[in-house]
Amino acid sequence: MKRVTLLVAAGIVALSGIAYADSPILEFIEGWSGPGPYTWAKGFDIRLACLPSREAAENSLRRQFWNCYTDDASRVRGLFMFNVNWGDNGGGQLFTDDLFDRRTVKELTLEAVYMHRVNSVVDIGGGIQWVRLTTDAPTAAAARLGYSEAVVWRTGVPFRVTFTPLGFMHFNGRARGVSRLVHLQYESAYFGSSSQASDYGNPFSRYSTKREFQSRVGVSVDIAPLLVAIHPN
């Protein structure tokens, strides 16, 4: 599995589109040899619910809901989120020790996390992640050699840190949400289960791993400021 990914995310309040590309330097450092990298991913983040801060505890449920989806830093102390993203390896070489296995592997990631708001700049959290890796069917010639299509599910435990660099700034009126416009994210998910080339329909490669991390860094742009500009109250 690909261990390190560089994300570039374009987000909205409840949904976010993601496109990410491989970082060859980090891949080299970690000694990656499995299928990947998974590039040009798309995805979305859904805020399921938020815990109100002390300041907002007496607000109506409707107001708390609005605070959650506009990501009001002073009125939210925790976020429950469900995240989805998907991408593929572009049909490249799956394993470093098999030059002939070049197929498309699609990666779908489902993630449930809780993010605790430390302050207006930093959120930290974690949860559980499910990853489905699907290989294309091999060519007729490759199938005769023993290659086959496959579906692999892996379960990981992600840890995420989100930095909001403008979070310390305070704006008034319709510009109030500008401080929540840009977010920097780091996530590392630990996978304790084993994975080998045969899981991906490759009977020749000696690729095998028991424990690994998949780390991602990214930048997201949230449209919450637009919602605040339209409905400042």
Where are the domains positioned within the chain?
A: 4-230
- Check residue 110 and give its pLDDT: 94
- Check residue 179 and give its pLDDT: 85
- Check residue 27 and give its pLDDT: 45
pLDDT (tens digit per residue) in 153-169 = 999 999 999 999 998 88
Residue owning tokens 């970690």 = 30
Provide Rg for the chain, Cα atoms.
20
d(CA 2, CA 91): 14
Mean pLDDT confidence for 120-131: 95
pLDDT band at 148 (very low <50, low <70, confident <90, very high): very high
Take residue 227 and report the two structure tokens written for it: 């919602």
Question: What distance separates the 2 farthest-apart alpha carbons in the chain?
Answer: 68
- Check residue 43 and give its pLDDT: 77
d(CA 56, CA 63): 9
Mean pLDDT confidence for 30-56: 75
Predicted structure pTM score: 0.77
CA atoms within 13 A on the CB side of 166: 16
Task: Say how many C-beta atoms besides its own lie within 10 A of residue 164's C-beta.
Answer: 23
Is 50 exceeded by the pLDDT of residue 8? no
pLDDT (tens digit per residue) in 173-197 = 777 778 888 888 888 889 888 889 9
Mean pLDDT, rounded, of the chain: 80
Mean pLDDT confidence for 64-69: 86
pLDDT above 90 covers a percentage of the chain that reads: 31
- Check residue 33 and give its pLDDT: 54
Nearest to 17 by CA among 8, 5, 29, 26: 8
Q: What backbone phi and psi angles, to 5 degrees, belong to 6?
A: -105, 115
Report the run of H or E that residue 225 belongs to, with start and end.
helix 224-230
DSSP E strands: which ranges in the chain? 4-11, 16-22, 39-52, 76-88, 93-95, 98-102, 105-117, 122-135, 151-163, 182-191, 195-196, 208-209, 212-221
Between 203 and 3, residue with greater pLDDT? 203
8 Å CB contact between 157 and 128: yes
